Structure 1
């Protein structure tokens, strides 16, 4: 069996449709190479997700900061910088990307820069300590996050040009599943490998290995066959960015999507509070952290392809169900903590709840990514992605301040507040047009 036949056979199995070669919303030239592009996109995403798993900002980077005796207050910057830094500049980035007929090279550049900054963090972890080491990691994380923004804008645009409309959710779903498999394996390592024995050199090598995964991802992504697309509107990046914000006023479906996506941040924002609640009930044994990582990985592995296939039918309904599940879980945990608090002290209860929360979060991610790609075509898609990501980056930073509620609310009460946003988000998602139809 030659490589082409193997690729097409794999593609047919992953798409699992009678008319897998039917093309919607892409041109004829791109249609002829869909199988190869489909597989290459998933493989490149797999490598980038593998890098993410090894350098998890909620696990690995905090441990490294503590190991090198970095100031404690710096730990609070890790996740906000990692997430928001890649979103906020996207309006300006998109202005430059619009000038390019072939945009896969932006993704490749972003991946290489992520690799370089991650390798730099590995070197810092290996050779530096104290405040200097901590601030150097923060600086490199900013570069990493900005580089991630390059890849983020380009990825959705290339996906829209190379993969048919009815198959984009499956790409995201299978990528999430692959990431879940890696995260699951990583969690098992955490459960059985005593982290007390990890030295700065080990952490340094881990981050350097993560850098190699991003290099591999860039190499694979460069092989995607992308055909020239629109280049209109590629003027001054900042001025064009300001003008494009106006689509929030003129484009009602997009405006409602941005509001809905903002409310759906509850699935990500509640996650740390489940971990904190577990630590409050059970302490901080290493195996407990491993159980949460395993729950997260298993959820991605199992639910990714299912959400992806469902999203190609109705990404709006995926967001509705995922938001509702997030809300149900949060309200249930609040009720249990209020009425039968001792149940949460059972070792398996909160990791199991976190497993279902991670399933819901996968649904939110797959649903909103598929929705924004299917909502528009051509350069308008780039505008949608960049405007929404920039605004969500700002909103994420603001909503991150919910941690200040801990001064007068219990952990389960904060989970309840965020879960109410999920209820509103599900209702808002129901008002969105069903773009797949």
Structure 2
């Protein structure tokens, strides 16, 4: 098949697969939906705050373990599909447990189930994300990468809004049923995404052949990590990128703590969780078109603007606390909208940043090592925020995150600019 036809086919498949995956991750988000469900079942905030750190550390383990195999693999789509379907299977456990077993809502059992599922979700995401980001460097031409990532998140926002509204309005009446409906729909969409990813046509392009020929040079897990840390010390742009990613954890870790506050105040409010998911989806949908329009901008400027949006979300959350949030949960809709908008811009641009600056041979290792280092920091940081939310007040973590949002926006402007002739 001509290369042009293959490129168009892969772009369409990745667009459809990415849209479905983004929808599933919105409707069954471990950052919003799972913490909300966990708190609504009566669990303490300290363990809700641990969901994302566990996902993070499991994700980094999955990436560092799979990096040598994905780096040498001739075909990466099977890794991506396996990761998606693994995470989907884990979500089924939560849905069945919450839907059929009242005893599972006991504190110890519920905690073990949620934390165990978070670990499996992280492993699946680590595998699928590393495979996708690696493929992004050779399956999709550079000029189409921004359009792909920003378009799929914009379209996924629209589809997520439709599905979230339908699941809340057409079939369920009670709040608990509405909450679980979102999870089941997210699972179904994720399965379709995993199946669709199998249709990608990967050709043995020159850089992949070279990488496959060097498969005997694959490193072990610890050797990979040591080599990656050396890169952090020696490669200026990568060191700056890792620091920026650590600061931008203030966006990635923010949503669970907003979800904790929202669940504490609206766990029995019908349409509440659905409204928050719709607000998040609207942020993704508008963000897809918004960030795409900014695609001519330097990537570091886009990242900085994302930090500013996240700071605005934190300010709204803090101000709403002194109003009457129990009566006006519209405040939380605005917060989730802005966080989703900011997070989408940051996540998409950092993928493009590494895919563009890293070579074919080192790309999987850069991704895996950065996620490992950032994931380790995320575990400690989110656990500290969870303790703060549990023993003090849920707004204290938001204060900390707000300060880091502003710092991240400033530091992003120090990143190395993408050269105009980068491949």
- TM-score tier by shorter-chain length is 0.7 to 0.9
CA shift in 2, pair 1:270/1:212, >3 Å: closer
Post-superposition, which runs of at least 4 consecutive aligned residues in structure 1 deviate over 6 A? 66-73, 279-283
With over 3 angstroms needed to count, the CA separation of the structure-2 counterparts of 1:272 and 1:206, relative to structure 1, is closer
Maintained 8 Å contact 2:307/2:405: yes
Equivalences, count: 404
Matches within 5 A, 1:24-43: 33-43=6-16
Check conservation: 2:313, 2:339, Cα contact below 8 A: yes
Q: 1:298 aligns with which of 278, 282, 286?
A: 282
Deviation at 1:127, TM superposition (A): 5.1
Deviation, 1:168, is: 1.1
- C-alpha separation between the residues in 2 aligned to 1:124 and 1:388? 35
Offset from partner CA, 1:75-105 (integer Å, 9 cap, x none): 4543332344213442232122222122222
Matched, 1:377 2:354: no
Does structure 1 residue 268 correspond to structure 2 residue 268? no
**More deviation in 268-277 or 152-161?**
268-277
Question: Which shows bigger deviation, 353-362 or 186-195?
Answer: 186-195
TM-score when normalising by structure 2:
0.82
CA distance in 2: counterparts of 1:171 and 1:120, whole angstroms: 32
Among residues 154, 157, 161, which one is paired with 1:180 in the alignment? 157
Conservation of the 8 A alpha-carbon contact between 2:158 and 2:285: yes
Q: CA deviation at 1:159?
A: 1.1
Question: Equivalent residue for 1:391?
Answer: 373
Answer whether contact 2:26 2:280 (CA < 8 A) is retained: no
Contact 1:88 1:391 in 2 (8 A): no
| CA distance in structure 2 between the partners assigned to 1:160 and 1:247 by the alignment | 20
C-alpha distance in 1, partners of 2:93/2:332? 36
Aligned partner of 2:173 in structure 1 is: 194
Residue in 2 that maps onto 1:23: none
In the alignment, the residues of structure 1 paired with residue 258 and residue 43 of structure 2 have an alpha-carbon distance, to the nearest angstrom, of: 26
Cα displacement string for residues 276-296 of structure 1 (whole angstroms, at most 9, x for unaligned residues): 556778886234433322211
TM-score by length of 1: 0.79
Maintained 8 Å contact 2:161/2:278: yes
Distance in 2 separating the partners of 1:210 and 1:275: 18
Tell me if 1:342 matches 2:323: yes
1:214 alignment partner in structure 2: 190
**Aligned-pair distance for 1:59?**
5.4
Cα 1:350–1:221 shift into 2, 3 Å: closer
* CA shift for structure 1 position 386: 0.7
For 1:38 and 1:151, the matched residues in 2 are separated by 17
Q: Are 1:166 and 2:143 matched, yes or no?
A: yes
1:55 aligns with 2:17: no
List runs of 5+ in structure 1 lacking aligned partners.
Answer: 5-28
> 1:430 is matched with which residue: 398, 413, 416?
413
CA contact (8 A) 2:284 2:344 kept: yes
Report the counterpart of residue 101 of structure 1 in structure 2: 74
Higher relative contact order (CA 8 A, sep 6+): 2
Secondary structure, counterpart of 1:285 in structure 2: coil
CA RMSD between the two structures: 3.4
Contact 1:326 1:360 in 2 (8 A): yes
Q: CA–CA distance in 2 between the matches of 1:141 and 1:337?
A: 30
TM-superposed deviation, 1:333? 5.2
1:285 aligned partner: 269
Partner of 1:135: 112
1:226 to 189, 194, 202: 202
Classify the secondary structure of the residue corresponding to 1:162: coil
Alignment deviations for residues 336-385 of structure 1 (CA, whole Å, 9 cap, x no partner): 469xx337664433422432232222222222222122221302211111
1:405 corresponds, among 372, 388, 393, to 388
